[in-house]
Amino acid sequence: HGTSTAALNSKIRSGHKDNVKYPGPSAPPRPPGPHGPEEGGWNVMSVLAGITAQLETEMVQQSMSAHQQFTFPRLLDDDPPGPAPFPHRIVSLRPGRPCDSLSIDTQGVLGGGRFGRVHKCTENASGLKLAAKVIAARSAKEKEMALNEIQVMNQLSHANIIQLYDAFESKNEVVLVMEYLEGGELFERIVDERSPLTEVDAIIFLKQICQAIQYMHQMYVLHLDLKPENILCVNRTGHQVKIIDFGLARRYRPREKLRVSFGTPEFLAPEIVNFDFVSFPTDMWTVGVVTYMLLSGLSPFLGDDDSETLNNVLTVNWAFDDEAFEHVSDEAKDFVSNLLIRERSASQCLKHPWLCNISEKAKRSNITLKSQVQLKKYMARRLWKKNYIVVAAANRFKKISSCGSLTSLGI
């Protein structure tokens, strides 16, 4: 397992790529080095690098006051989230666009990714606040994937799983209307220094995640994309979370061996990289990665590029960094080891000592974890990389427009 502290800490600086698709069992070749923006485009490197440098300076200053003990009692907020503001629905695709029944805020984007974008919206008749996930569906395969997401969500009714409200189909788009969650991504909430993160906070988050996965697996559903971006907070102050984005989820039939070739490299289980059969432990491996990050702020398998990351996953090359895990309990480290070394179910995780006796642990859990500072750096780098890709792409299209052809894209 031996990975040095310097090597682990350097992983934060490299960022990651979202949902790279792999065609077969072997890891992809080492990608070419980074390229700057097109000549004549925006100076994205200097602008974004300046923003990142400023964030890192602020984090160093914040770290001076981090990891301190609390001298005041903390309220234990381990209540489950409330139900969605509507009963569970069995949704079918309706023809047409949702503009007649919904007002969609097309200017405000709540999130986005390979699927498209998510906007806040309001049902005209009731005033109910909802979220509209707009999926590009020009091909039959894209529409089939959207239909699969609807069918999976129709089966799932749990307090820690986002609920589907309606669905619309037009010529080139599918719009999924679902429960609105105002709290944002779990990691974005955690890096807010106004809410110090202790080990008990991490326990409360992880217990809910495991309860949701236990229910999904009881319903024979594999999520297969349980990265931090797909765990949202219900609001901006509480500890309640819900799992979202079932675009890559699959029905699991044990007699029908299932293989998949997609995901985000640093969160992939070895069986996905090897193009081997996936099952319930595939989701639990990713829970182990997320837990490691919550406790330390480091990504256990992240390398300097996708090829190195995938090799780390295949060789199970990870270790507990002494500095990052300085204030983390042995129970917590055993919980992570059980997920990244041995195959464990969600039910077994919920029985692990680390997730039990939360009220007793809350009485003595008074040390802020170091992960807040490192996660803020991780999030800044992730945002930097996403912004760089967007601006670089815009520069390429700008150049294409001036040339009047698609030859510069190799098309």
- Any idea what the Cα angle at residue 348 is, between residues 360 and 216, rounded to 5°? 110
Please give the radius of gyration of the chain, using alpha carbons only, rounded to the nearest integer: 22
What pLDDT was estimated at residue 43?
Answer: 53
Contact (CB, 8 A) for 379 and 51: no
Task: Determine if residue 227 is labeled as part of a ligand binding site.
Answer: no
**For residue 324, is pLDDT > 50?**
yes
Is residue 382 very low, low, confident or very high in pLDDT (cuts 50, 70, 90)? Answer: confident
Query: Does residue 177 carry a pLDDT above 60?
Result: yes
User: How large is the average pLDDT for residues 301-322?
Assistant: 95
| Cβ contact 261:21 at 8 Å | yes
Q: Exposed, middle or buried by CB within 10 Å (0-12, 13-18, 19+), for 231? A: buried
Q: Is the torsion defined by CA of 241, 242, 245, 246 positive or negative?
A: positive
Give buried/exposed letters for 155-175 (b at 16+ CB in 10 A, else e).
ebbbbbbbbbbbbbbeeebbb
pLDDT at residue 401 is higher than 70? no
Q: What number of residues does the chain have?
A: 411
- Give the pLDDT band of residue 128 (cuts 50, 70, 90): very high
Rounded Cα gap, residues 87 and 84, in angstroms:
7
Half-sphere exposure of 92 (CA within 13 A, CB side): 2
Strand 164-169 to strand 94-95: parallel, antiparallel, or no bridges (unpaired)?
A: parallel
191 falls in which pLDDT band (50, 70, 90)?
A: confident
Listed residue (173, 152, 143) closest to 90, CA to CA? 152
| Alpha-carbon span 195 to 187, nearest angstrom | 12
Band (pLDDT 50/70/90 cuts) for residue 386 is low
- Report pLDDT for 300: 97
Residue range 225-242: average pLDDT? 94
pLDDT confidence of residue 248? 94
250-279 pLDDT per residue, tens: 999 988 889 998 889 999 999 999 999 999
Q: What does the pLDDT read at residue 41?
A: 46
The confidence score (pLDDT) of residue 366 equals 77
Q: Is the pLDDT of residue 51 over 90?
A: no
**C-beta of residue 209 within 8 angstroms of C-beta of residue 160:** yes
DSSP 3-state of 222:
strand
Q: Which residue has the higher pLDDT, 202 or 382?
A: 202
In this prediction, residue 292 has a pLDDT band, given cuts at 50, 70 and 90, of very high
Element (H, E) at 108: strand 102-113
Whether the pLDDT of residue 117 is over 60: the answer is yes
Indicate the pTM of the whole model. Answer: 0.79
CA distance 16 to 309: 9
48-57, 195-204, 257-266: range with lowest mean pLDDT: 48-57
Q: With contact defined as beta carbons under 8 Å apart, do 139 and 152 qualify?
A: no
Average pLDDT estimate for 172-199: 91
Average pLDDT over residues 316-324: 95
- pLDDT tier, 36 (very low <50, low <70, confident <90, very high otherwise): very low
Q: Which of 78, 201, 225, 305 is catalytic?
A: 225
What percentage of the chain has pLDDT greater than the value 70? 75
d(Cα 238, Cα 82) in Å, to the nearest integer? 12
Q: Band of the pLDDT at 134, cuts 50, 70, 90?
A: very high
Q: Compute, in degrees rounded to 10, the torsion defined by CA atoms 326, 286, 213, 321.
A: -10
Active site residue 225: yes
Confidence of residue 342 (pLDDT cuts 50, 70, 90): confident
Q: What is the mean predicted confidence (pLDDT) over 118-128? A: 96
Query: Exposed (0-12), middle (13-18) or buried (19+): which is 357, by Cβ within 10 Å?
Result: exposed
* Short-list 160, 223, 210, 200, CA closest to 349: 210
Say yes or no to pLDDT of 147 above 90. Answer: yes
Confidence band of 229 (pLDDT split at 50, 70, 90): very high
- Identify the residue whose tokens are 């800044």: 380
* CA atoms of 231 and 242, how far apart (whole Å): 6
